[in-house]
Amino acid sequence: MGKYKIFVDGSAGTTGLRIADRLAQCSDITVLPISDADRKNLHARAALINESDLSFLCLPDDAAREVVPLLRSDVRVLDTSTAHRTDPAWVYGLPELHGTREKLKTAARVAVPGCHATGFIAPTAPLVQLGLLPKTTQLCCYSLTGYSGGGKKMIAEYEAPRTDPALNAARPYGLALHHKHLPEMAAVTGLDKPPLFVPVLADYYAGMETMIPLDLPALGLTAQQVADALASYYAGEALVTVHPLNSGTDGGFLAANKLAGRDGLEIFCLANPDGTQMQLISLFDNLGKGSSGAAVQCMNLMLGRKETEGLKQ
């Protein structure tokens, strides 16, 4: 069998570069090149995508929407932008959600999840699917991320000599509770409303920690029920680990960069002493399971490769 022909549209961006770096290590893949002159040529890019066995769109939303109509319906595309994540014609690329893995194996259009969205959906979607969280539940969510999630401009800002003392502090953003990941957070979990969500940017390179508090009596649940349900749902998964109730922290701390450089996601189930309140925490790398690692995992399934090929567990 010959090598797979893969094209990365937008390989100069942070996600595109990381995907291209991963593909360069694969002996069964040839990355289709594009000249500097054609990088912004819509029709040249579309021609390369149509020539490929599979392509990644690592583009701004509008650019992703612009190129898709020019593509053959059977060409296989993974879009890392926000553009198609709630489009029912696209498969949402979180393989561990029940029923998704089989869809990915035959899909031609796949939307790679957003990083904050992954941290929220991984613990909550199973609880909605299992009927433990009513669809009418209004959740809150806080998510801490390293500055690499802001792309090349933000990385350069943080890594240059400091002139702005604000960069030394954690900085919540999306303060008006309006973030681009909110539509997929609701659509993929099945909740009627997106969470009240505040992301927080901090002075470290990579890693994400997404926190979701639960009022257990209001939901008619116990902490053990929730922890057991998540452990059962993700049993046997190579890239998602659920820690037993009230375990797994580092002496009561969890560093948001603990899984930097890895492609898995860990879920922590932590309850207060009287069992009335609980916090679900997703810990992962925003550049791994939150972007390029997730994209490669989906590619592996679409091409019939080993699902974890090229990923660091």
Active site residues: 115
Q: What is the gyration radius of the CA atoms in the chain, in angstroms?
A: 20
**Amino acid in the structure at residue 81:** S
Q: Which of 141, 112, 164, 147 is nearest to 292 (CA)?
A: 112
Residue written as token pair 């590619």: 299
Q: What are phi and psi of 100, to 5 degrees?
A: -85, -40
Q: Minimal CA–CA distance to 141: which of 275, 280, 40?
A: 280
Alpha-carbon distance of 298 to 254, in angstroms, equals 28
CA dihedral 233, 238, 239, 244 (to 10 degrees): 50
The CA distance from 57 to 80, in Å, is: 6
Could you tell me the end-to-end alpha-carbon distance of the chain, in angstroms, rounded to an integer? Answer: 28
CA-based nearest residue to 121, from 191, 31, 24: 191
Confirm if 213 and 110 have CB atoms less than 8 A apart: no
Q: CB of 295 within 8 A of CB of 93? A: yes
* Cα–Cα distance, 195 to 48 (Å, whole number): 39
